[in-house]
Amino acid sequence: MDKIFFSGMSFYGFHGVYGAEAELGQRFMVDLELSIDLSRAGASDDLTDTVNYAEVFSCVQKVVEGERYNLVERLTTEVARQLLTQFPLTEAKVKVTKPNPPIKGHYEGVAIEMIRKREDFAL
């Protein structure tokens, strides 16, 4: 299966269990690995035979900057669901990193990564 990758997308959201996270918000990083048959696009050189990268970015942005979720797990699931609903993908691997969760210590971030298939959402 062919893949389309997005790396290091950055958005500002208000997700988290604690009040300050919901009130102040914070940055979230998103990486994608999208499975799709690209043979037609490779032959035709036509955008309609693939997915529009700007539309994928906008879809993820709307999820991360939209409705508030307590858990990054829920946010990651919703990103996958929206991508698989809106685009002709067979599978979406989504990684959401929360660079500054309220944990005492030194680290670069905490991330959730999941792989979902179209059939996981009964589309």
Residues annotated as catalytic are: 98
**Whole-Å CA distances, 100 to 29, 110, 111:** 11, 8, 11
Q: Give the count of beta carbons closer than 10 Å to the beta carbon of residue 49.
A: 15
Burial class of 15 by CB neighbour count within 10 A (0 to 12, 13 to 18, 19+): buried
Residues 6+ apart with CB under 8 A from 93: 32, 33, 34, 35, 113, 114, 115
